[in-house]
Amino acid sequence: MNTTLETPEVLDIAIIGAGPCALAVAARMRETTPSALFTDAEHQRYHWIKRHKNRVKLVPTKGRATKKILVEDKSEKPCGEICNPPKYLMAVYDSSGPDWMIKWTCLFNAYNIKTLRSPLFFHVDPRDRDGLKAYAYAKGREKEMVELKGVVGKEISKHLMKKKMKRRPSVNAHTGKSIDERDMQDYYTPSTSLFNDYCQDCIDRYSLNNLVTQTDVRSIEYDEQGTDERPDKCFTIKTSIGTQLARTVVLSIGPGMPAPPPFTSNEAEGACHTSQLLKQKCLVPHVKAKMDSKHTTNVIVIGGGLTSAQIVDLCIKKGVSKVWHIMRDDFKVKHFDLSLDWVAKYKNINQAAFWSADTDEERFEMILSARNGGSITPAYKAVLERHQTKGNVIRHTKTQIVGKSWDSTSRLWTIETEPPIPDLPPIDYIYYATGAKADINAMPLLQPLLQSHPIETVGGLPCLTYDMQWSKDVPLFVTGRLAGLQLGPGAANLEGARAGAERIAWRLQEILGDIDKYSDGNDPVDEMDELRDRAERSWTHLNMFDTLSVGRDVSIRDN
């Protein structure tokens, strides 16, 4: 945990933001065997060989796989590759706090979220797709994996599928069949504490503690030409507590800014955007005082996403008498914030269509249609229905506020809606659960870069390279929601975290490949070439054991 900029003169990597997507990149930069290249068994075996290569004598087989293995203790080296001193000088800057995922944990606390919305395999650990599930079992915390009821087993039978296809042959064969029983284990979501503990485990395993400094990054500049103070091809990062130079930057600032709230500073006493609950209590003093004196309190929550449902529930639990839940669209219920065919087994079909789209405009349209606005989960639908039955919550869909005035003496709003809500009383407080605006053109910290190295945008998202780089000459990488045009609709949630980290890491390692200040002499470029080469070979003619033999034709057996 840091509060001042005490890092070396020029960093190899500066990461801006310390949320889950940033953590995935940092962890991936310390992982030597990317899981994307290996099956779980191969991965496990590769790690075993890496870890024990100093203690075992590998005996060449000369083509046969039955030769003896001699195990002898050659060194006291206690652990494997990821515990070696880090190769890259890396620092992380976050405005929310001096540690990883402060904004994430504070929001989860503020909204009282007990369970994630996403499935178990959406996580940040580069080592193993099923790592979170394995962690839950290893720690005896299986009960903290919550089944998503009504997802698995809802697929259409083969017979019904054939009938449908006959009737409408143009329909994709997989339409309606999104989940397979074999994937059943995946359709559990982790409890918030299980997920957070697994992230902490990842932070510890990759020695990522003490990397984060709390500071607001205000501008990023990139200069090809050096000066006396700065080398060529270098970023200058200006923050609220100082200036830092870096060879590469990873921008991982989440969705960007909240949608501009439609109230003035004079009216701010009576309304907030839900992201402000990071810094303020759910109930503001005048509402709390009214409740304490046993007066009726009325609030409005605007929005149709999961956050709106969480705030409605929270208000009722805190003792608000009545909540009007207003949304401009229909009330939509979905397990995930993407439709199931973007999450489950056949998501590859959609991903392929996304990646083969001709233009970024087309991709942007696909993102919009996959997300299809805000939605809430079946579990929260049930919670809201309980409140509605008791008469504490009233929902109005396809409704918008068209007029409002705040009386600062009575501290009450007079609200006009379209269509009008009959008998709507004066309102004590309005919560805007209206999401965030992802538009790089409106972000002050990117203005210098946008001017010196302009980039095209679609719907506010930058048109990045495949490696999620600003341009091939500017080594600034973008991950999270802002990388949507490369990663697809999953960029805005945890699904994009590992996928983004994987792409960024390959390119970062290529750019920084000549830096190997602390290694034991293995050239990192050679190591990456070796991995790529091995991956290539594994896809062609060798079996996994050949593929994993460390640079020689050997057989090996675990003890």
| Degrees, nearest 5: CA angle 391-395-396 | 140
Regarding 375 and contact with ligand FAD (CB under 6 A), the answer is no
User: Which residue shows structure tokens 């869909």?
Assistant: 397
Regarding 111 and contact with ligand FAD (CB under 6 A), the answer is yes
Cα(164)–Cα(176) distance, rounded to whole angstroms? 10
Q: What are phi and psi of 292, to 5 degrees?
A: -65, -30
Q: Which residue in the set 44, 84, 95, 465 belongs to the binding site for ligand FAD (CB under 6 A)?
A: 95
Among residues 58 and 494, whose Cβ is nearest to ligand FAD? 494
Shortest CB 391 distance to ligand FAD, Å: 27
Q: What are phi and psi of 2, to 5 degrees?
A: -125, 155
Cα(28)–Cα(205) distance, rounded to whole angstroms? 12
Total binding residues for ligand FAD by CB under 6 A?
29
Among residues 175 and 196, whose Cβ is nearest to ligand FAD? 196
Regarding 244 and contact with ligand FAD (CB under 6 A), the answer is no
Stated length of the chain: 559
Regarding 187 and contact with ligand FAD (CB under 6 A), the answer is no
**Of 109-117, 149-157, 412-420, 458-466, which segment contacts ligand FAD by CB under 6 A?**
109-117
Residue 503: count of CB within 10 angstroms of its CB: 23
Regarding 107 and contact with ligand FAD (CB under 6 A), the answer is yes
**Of 87-95, 393-401, 454-462, 520-528, which segment contacts ligand FAD by CB under 6 A?**
87-95
**Of 79-87, 101-109, 162-170, 363-371, which segment contacts ligand FAD by CB under 6 A?**
101-109
Among residues 117 and 503, whose Cβ is nearest to ligand FAD? 117
Regarding 494 and contact with ligand FAD (CB under 6 A), the answer is yes
Regarding 129 and contact with ligand FAD (CB under 6 A), the answer is no
From residue 282 to residue 321, the character string flagging contacts with ligand FAD as x (rule: CB under 6 A) and all else as - is -------------------------x--------------
Q: Which residue in the set 254, 304, 475, 524 belongs to the binding site for ligand FAD (CB under 6 A)?
A: 254
Alpha-carbon torsion (512, 514, 520, 523), positive or negative: positive
Q: Give 271: exposed, middle or buried? Use CB within 10 Å, 0-12, 13-18, 19+.
A: buried
Please say whether the beta carbons of 52 and 286 come within 8 A: no
Q: DSSP state, 145?
A: E
Cα(38)–Cα(36) distance, rounded to whole angstroms? 6
Q: Cβ contacts of residue 442 below 8 Å, gap of 6+? A: 256, 257, 460
Distances (CA, A) of 413 to 269, 398, 405: 11, 21, 6
Regarding 547 and contact with ligand FAD (CB under 6 A), the answer is no
Among residues 118 and 339, whose Cβ is nearest to ligand FAD? 118
Regarding 509 and contact with ligand FAD (CB under 6 A), the answer is no
Among residues 174 and 218, whose Cβ is nearest to ligand FAD? 218
Regarding 433 and contact with ligand FAD (CB under 6 A), the answer is no
Shortest CB 498 distance to ligand FAD, Å: 11
Cα(52)–Cα(271) distance, rounded to whole angstroms? 60
Q: Which residue in the set 33, 35, 118, 178 belongs to the binding site for ligand FAD (CB under 6 A)?
A: 118
Among residues 153 and 444, whose Cβ is nearest to ligand FAD? 444
Cα(330)–Cα(201) distance, rounded to whole angstroms? 40
Residue 468: half-sphere exposure toward Cβ, Cα within 13 Å: 32
Cα(71)–Cα(69) distance, rounded to whole angstroms? 6
Regarding 493 and contact with ligand FAD (CB under 6 A), the answer is yes
Map residue 143 onto helix, strand or coil. helix
Q: DSSP state, 102?
A: H
Q: Which residue in the set 81, 180, 183, 216 belongs to the binding site for ligand FAD (CB under 6 A)?
A: 216
Residues within the interface to ligand FAD (CB under 6 A): 16-22, 93-96, 103-104, 107, 111, 116-118, 122, 216-217, 252-254, 307, 445, 480, 493-494
